[in-house]
Copies of this chain bind each other. A is one copy, B any other.
Amino acid sequence: MTDSAAPQQELDVVCIGNAIVDVLAQTDDSVLDAHGMVKGTMALIDEDQAKILYKAMPQGIETSGGSAANTAAGLASLGARCAFIGKVRDDQLGDIFVHDIRAVGAEFITPAATAGPPTARCLVMITPDAQRTMNTFLGASVNLDPDDIDGDLVQRAQVIYLEGYLWDRDEAKAAFLKAAALAAAAGRLVSLSLSDPFCVERHRDSFRTFVTDHVDVLFANEDEITSLYQVENFDDALQHVREDCRIAALTRSEKGAVVVAGDEVHVVDANPVEAVIDTTGAGDQFAAGFLRGLTRGRDFATCARLGAMTAAEVIGHVGPRPLVSLSELAAQNGLA
């Protein structure tokens, strides 16, 4: 035996995104007003702003977050084989992030930065209407660069999943493009989440080029997709996006989701939820459910139902990652 290395496991999805620890606190609307936040969106802040804002926040809880990392956690809970690529610093918050992403069962090998800014954190205000308003200090996440894109990982996966938030930094964007090129060369699918309407505002032109040139599966909510195409209503955006990419999975909160893939169109209802507690992670988890279905070869309607089920679980509690076994939940819902 000259080659003693064990053959490496095939992967369903590799998720690439910011490695962030969330600080969640329940606040009233006045905190948002006092600091000029726009409800339901994510704003980028620097380290000094993070300190000031943290001081103004009530007592919170800390929990691993990051959009694509949350998706990886959802995928793992659904039984998918997945990996995550993202950058932490070698500090206490970084230790928490790395522990948690591995504990959910995702492969994670990106080396931690040993210098530079601390691990990213996202200050999340949860208002009584269950909306989450986020302020992110990107910290060490900005140091994700093309060298961190492990070609082997990318080529072992059926799909790569990229969060739009990475577009905010040039090095990360370069990493993102490298991953997409590697995946395409290996005949893999490239999926992207638009992440946030303001993120779309900041990067509209390059997002549109990227979607047209590289994206097989696009995830967006109503605000994001109408912003991308600068149109007034959802249906207009729908007509645009079906020209631009093979599969678009568009979420509309309580109105459910629409999947469009060429001539195929599905309109799937949202799952009923007893009480909406915290919408953090809803889009991330919809993507997890959808991709789980896709990588198992399920039809698009079933993929969307899996997404709706997974999103409904996460908005029923505080925190952006599932609290129950989603594979058991899928079995109970006849979606296994």
Contacts and interface: CB of A to CB of B under 8 A. Distances in A.
A319 to B, nearest CB: 7
Nearest to A23: B96
A57 interface: yes
A200 interface: no
Nearest to A323: B26
Interface string A81-117: 0000000000111001001100110000000000000
Interface stretch (A60-68, A130-138, A181-189, A297-305): A60-68
Interface in A309-336: 319, 321, 323
A59 B93 contact: no
A62 B59 contact: no
A293 interface: no
A321 B59 contact: yes
A73 interface: yes
Nearest to A121: B92
B96 A57 contact: no
A54 interface: yes
B54 A59 contact: no
A58 B77 CA distance: 12
Given A55-B99, A60-B63, A62-B62, 20 more contacts: A23-B96, A54-B99, A57-B103, A58-B103, A59-B64, A59-B73, A59-B99, A59-B100, A59-B103, A60-B99, A60-B100, A60-B103, A61-B61, A61-B62, A61-B319, A91-B91, A91-B92, A92-B93, A92-B118, A92-B119
A26 B63 CA distance: 14
Contacts of A93: 92
Given A54-B99, A92-B91, A118-B92, A61 B63 contact: yes
Q: How many copies does the complex hold?
A: 2
Interface residues of A, number: 26
A53 to B, nearest CB: 11
* Across the A-B interface, the 10 shortest Cβ-Cβ residue pairs: A62-B62, A92-B92, A59-B100, A59-B103, A61-B63, A58-B103, A59-B104, A61-B61, A92-B93, A91-B92
Interface in A23-67: 23, 26, 54-55, 57-64
A272 to B, nearest CB: 21
A57 B26 CA distance: 27
A114 to B, nearest CB: 16
A57 to B, nearest CB: 7
Nearest to A57: B103
Contact of A62 (B55, B63, B118): B63
A100 B323 CA distance: 24
21 contacts: A23-B96, A26-B323, A55-B99, A57-B99, A58-B103, A58-B104, A59-B64, A59-B73, A59-B100, A59-B103, A59-B321, A60-B99, A60-B100, A61-B61, A61-B63, A61-B319, A62-B62, A62-B63, A62-B96, A92-B118, A92-B119
Contacts of A60: 63, 99-100, 103
A54 B103 CA distance: 10
A27 to B, nearest CB: 11
Contacts of A58: 103-104
